[in-house]
Amino acid sequence: MKNLRDVWSSRFMHYIGEVQKYMQFTFTGHIAIVLVFLIGAGGYQYSEWLKVVQADFPAEILIAVIVGLLLIFSRPTTLLREPDQVYLLPLESKMSQYFSKALAWTFWSQVWIAAIVYIVSIPLLKAVTDLTTLNIWLIFLLIVVLKYISVQGEFNYRYSERGQLVWVDRLIRAVIFVVAIYLALQTQLLLVIIATVISVIYMVVFRKKSIGEPIPYEHFVKLEQNRMMSFYRFANYFTDVPHLHGSIRRRGWLDWLYKFIPYGKGNAQKYLVFRTFIRTDDHFYLWLRLTAISAIIAVFVDIPVVTWIVAGALSFATTIQLKQALLTSGEFRMDMLYPLPDNARRLAVKQIVRLAMITQAVIVGVCAITQPMFYLTIVIIVGVSELTMKISKP
């Protein structure tokens, strides 16, 4: 490597390759269909609501709070690794080259979130405010500027304070950003400039404070490890991540559920599989997350066809992933020492998955009770689940 910019480029290419490798399994065909219908249904509901929205709706406050809160989450993406705490020490005086690249990527990879939310809110602003097109796009520019300040500010704060009490920094920036955006929506130009200058001063204070301080490698490395682990956990809901080991939690508050499995030799595998499902974070939260998504769609989307399609797609995703996860446990288990039938675990997995999907169907069906023929939601979830279990590999 000729310089630290080359180090960043090399790591960045490896990072992009790692993300692409797992994202191709995440956004598969059925997920893409669900997203298309979600966006379409959400857009239709939003446009219908705009036709009847009241003129006194507090759009300025709502948008300022939402966008302001989105702006403050600016965790730096440094791609630092644990050996860097030793091997990059001699280059500490030149690390600004590396961090400038890292912060540039952090900004461009995060600014679009707040930008999209604001762009989606533009029709609402036009419906309930007197803002001109020029004012709206100047506020968009302000949001981009505030995001840049936020990225630089959080990095400098973490650098100077060694990552301590980050929530205090975010709270201060949240107040400044929410006020700045609200004043901009009220077309108070002078006050907006003052709020922006205050945010710049706040950022500069911690930048000066970090000068001469040693780089907090340990904090940035831990931050990077946590960020990648969050991504791997997300990807693991859609495909197997070999180096990720799901955590186990007792969840004692669900112990009463085990009583529904009668005590007996014939139910040994069923009991073990059920405990595995309840106690393994990857399995339990997979079911919980997809059930929650289906339930939310059923509550807020008043288009039965969309509810049925989303419920069916997520039923397929839940069933096939739960089945594969519960069947492909590679660890040694004590039940392997006992003379149980070869297909005992496969039958137990099928029963537990069926129970989980019936529960999902009931929850989503109750959430869709205000829709016409809501019972079809339950039928679709159970039907898709049974069909998936039959045609998927054992």
Look at residue 243 and tell me if it is in a domain.
no
Q: Is residue 83 located within the same domain as residue 208?
A: yes
What per-residue confidence (pLDDT) applies to 92? 79
What whole-number distance in Å separates Cα of residue 36 and Cα of residue 336? Answer: 45
Q: Are residues 268 and 229 in the same domain?
A: no
Tell me, yes or no, whether 198 lies in a domain. Answer: yes
Do 297 and 152 have their domain in common? Answer: no
Same structural domain for residues 215 and 267? no
| pLDDT class of 149 with cuts at 50, 70, 90 | very high
Q: Please give the mean pLDDT across all residues of the chain.
A: 86
Please check whether residues 18 and 156 belong to one and the same domain: yes
Q: Do both 317 and 193 map to the same domain?
A: no
Confidence of residue 137 (pLDDT cuts 50, 70, 90): very high
Decide if pLDDT at 96 tops 90: no
Last residue in a domain, options 234, 267, 288? 234
In a domain, 246, yes or no: no
| pLDDT (tens digit per residue) in 175-186 | 999 999 999 999
Residue 245 lies in a domain: no
Which of 174, 202, 234 terminates a domain? The answer is 234
- Check whether residue 230 and residue 261 sit in a common domain: no
The residue out of 234, 260, 284 marking a domain boundary is: 234
**φ, ψ for residue 204 (rounded to 5)?**
-65, -35
The residue segments making up the domain with residue 184 are: 4-234
Q: Assess whether 155 and 199 both reside in one domain.
A: yes
236 pLDDT above the threshold of 80: no
- Examine the domain organization and report whether 78 and 209 are in the same domain: yes
CB 322 within 8 A of CB 356: yes
| 40 and 160 share one domain | yes
Residue 247 within any structural domain of the chain: no
Q: Are residues 257 and 203 in the same domain?
A: no
Note whether 155 and 302 are same-domain residues.
no
- What is the predicted pLDDT for the residue at 394? 60
CB of 71 within 8 A of CB of 144?
Answer: no
The Cβ of residue 340 has, within 10 Å, a number of other Cβ atoms equal to 15
Does position 389 have pLDDT exceeding 60, yes or no? yes
Q: Give the total number of structural domains in the chain.
A: 2
User: Which amino acid, one-letter code, is at 267?
Assistant: N
Q: Which tokens belong to 184?
A: 């901009």
